[in-house]
């Protein structure tokens, strides 16, 4: 793990062992140049702690770019709780309470909300000890609820923008869109697509989700093993990252990749691989900003839900159009164009270069 930290360009990593459960907590603060580090809490089992730390570092860096592209006043951070394969419900709640205490002890250096493996109900539990640094609590507990709908809105807007560029029309009527992963973002994205009269396909590995969606009219189920070979206009990854890589890119039969999953590339070279195949990529951290920005605006800046929706649509549309224009004008990938835009905003802020690692063995 030491080599990962030495190569990382972020600011601070807090590593803590939860002895009662055997879980490990990694809080990665990549940048506070634009504001306090903000990002979700991912909770899942990992093959080893190096993999968990690597995930936290990559996700935190992604959050920096997510906020920096629109110049939103938040920094990039992420938390990963690496849990044992078996964790009792009671132990889980107690773990979340102890995690909340750790977040609270950071004194506002890190704000968090749900991510893979956590929910708004979990945020209620974490907030009992982590308040006021917890976003997305349930409305019953004074929060704005799930960030999924606002994230999906941004992704849907991004799909409209890239379709307008590629096909000359933002209408999605009869466009074939394949959604990979029907979680909180994917399911809402499917609703937007169906309302827009798109030809929707979906893929998931959870049997209950497959059963729920496969027999609905106007939607087609694609087995996981057939996803990359399926012809479509838009491929929308909305599950885990790393699905766009040197193995899958040659198989793709689409003109556009635009989805809500974080860190869709397995390596930086994958952006150029897509460009070489004339597949237009909408950078994930540009179009999936809706939940992070919208919920933060609602809970920290007093936006209404309607105001958040308007800002998400405007932000994604403006940023993505500018990125595509820059990409074509300078013959660079859309990923490189997006990073340049983010770095423009970061370079005009006060740098914080205090890179450190704080390892704590006990709560």
**DSSP secondary structure string for all residues of 111-129:** EEEE-TT--HHHHHHHHHH
Q: How many domains does the chain have?
A: 2
Report the CATH number at residue 42: 3.40.50.10860
The 3-state secondary structure of 227-243, one letter per residue: HHHCECCEEEECCCCCC
Is residue 125 located within the same domain as residue 167? no
Same domain, 155 and 109: no
Q: Which of 58, 66, 78, 187 is catalytic?
A: 78
195 and 48, same structural domain? no
Does a structural domain hold residue 55?
A: yes
Question: Quick one: 9 and 138 in the same domain?
Answer: yes
Residue 201 maps to a domain: yes
- Same domain (yes/no): 221, 325: yes
pLDDT at res. 361: 39
Q: Which domain holds residue 153?
A: 148-289+316-332
Give the β-pairing of 219-221 and 199-203: parallel
Q: Does a structural domain hold residue 256?
A: yes
Is residue 184 located within the same domain as residue 320?
yes
Q: Which residue has the tokens 């209620």?
A: 124
Q: What is the model's pLDDT at position 352?
A: 41
Instruction: Tell me if 36 is assigned to some domain.
Output: yes
Helix (H, G, I), strand (E, B) or coil at 35: coil
- Looking at the fold, whether 74 and 123 belong to one and the same domain comes out as yes
24 and 62 inside one domain: yes
- How many helices (H) does the chain have, and how many strands (E)? 12, 12
The answer to whether residues 8 and 140 belong to one domain is: yes
Residue 6 lies in a domain: yes
Is 311 a catalytic site residue?
A: no
Tell me if 295 is assigned to some domain.
no
Residues 117 and 183 in one domain: no
- Same domain for 117 and 154? no
> How far apart (Å, rounded) are the C-alpha atoms in residues 69 and 281?
16
Q: pTM for the full model? A: 0.91
The CA distances from residue 132 to 91, 104, 112, 182, 336, in Å, are 23, 8, 10, 31, 36
Separation of alpha carbons 293 and 343, rounded Å:
18
Average pLDDT, 10 consecutive residues per value, the chain (363 residues): 89 96 98 96 96 96 96 96 92 97 97 95 98 97 95 98 97 97 96 97 94 89 96 96 96 98 95 97 97 96 97 97 97 97 86 38 37
Q: Which residues pair with 175 in a beta bridge?
A: none
In-domain check, residue 340: no
Query: Which CATH number characterizes residue 237's domain?
Result: 3.40.50.720
pLDDT number for residue 89: 86
As a whole number of angstroms, the distance between CA 116 and CA 277 comes to 31
Q: Provide the pLDDT for residue 357.
A: 37
Asked whether residue 281 falls in the same domain as residue 191, the answer is: yes
Position 311 in a domain: no
Of the candidates 40, 32, 19, the one whose C-alpha atom is nearest the C-alpha of residue 349 is: 32
């Amino acid at each position: 793990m030491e080599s990962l930290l030495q190569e990382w360009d972020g600011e601070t990593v807090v590593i803590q062992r939860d002895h009662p459960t055997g879980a490990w907590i990694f809080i990665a603060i990549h940048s506070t140049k634009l504001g306090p580090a903000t990002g979700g809490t991912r909770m899942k089992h990992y093959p080893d702690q190096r993999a968990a730390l690597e995930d936290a570092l990559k996700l935190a860096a992604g959050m920096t770019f997510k906020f920096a592209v629109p110049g939103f006043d938040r920094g990039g951070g992420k938390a990963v709780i690496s849990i044992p394969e078996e964790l009792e419900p009671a132990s889980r709640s107690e773990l979340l309470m102890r995690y909340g205490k750790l977040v609270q002890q950071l004194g506002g250096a890190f704000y968090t909300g749900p991510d893979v493996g956590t929910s708004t109900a979990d945020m209620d539990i974490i907030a009992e000890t982590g308040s006021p640094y917890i976003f997305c609590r349930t409305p019953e507990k004074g929060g704005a609820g799930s960030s999924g709908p606002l994230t999906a809105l941004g992704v849907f807007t991004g799909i409209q923008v890239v379709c307008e560029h590629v096909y000359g029309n933002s209408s999605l009527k009869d466009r074939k869109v394949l959604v990979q992963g029907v979680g909180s973002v994917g399911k809402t994205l499917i609703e937007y697509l169906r309302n827009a009269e798109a030809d929707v396909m979906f893929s998931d590995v959870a049997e209950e989700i497959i059963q729920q969606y496969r027999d609905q009219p106007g939607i087609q189920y694609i087995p996981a093993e057939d996803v990359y070979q399926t012809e479509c206009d838009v491929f929308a990854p909305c599950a885990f990252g790393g699905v766009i890589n040197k193995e899958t890119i040659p198989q793709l039969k689409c003109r556009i990749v635009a989805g809500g999953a974080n860190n869709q590339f397995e390596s930086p070279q994958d952006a150029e691989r897509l460009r070489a195949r004339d597949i237009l990529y909408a950078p994930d951290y540009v179009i999936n900003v809706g939940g992070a920005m919208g919920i933060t605006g609602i809970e920290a800046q007093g936006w209404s839900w309607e105001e958040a929706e308007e800002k998400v649509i405007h932000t994604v549309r403006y940023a993505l159009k500018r990125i595509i224009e820059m990409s074509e004008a300078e013959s660079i990938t859309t990923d490189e164009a997006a990073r340049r835009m983010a770095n423009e905003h970061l370079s005009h802020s006060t740098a914080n270069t205090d890179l450190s690692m704080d390892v704590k063995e006990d709560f």
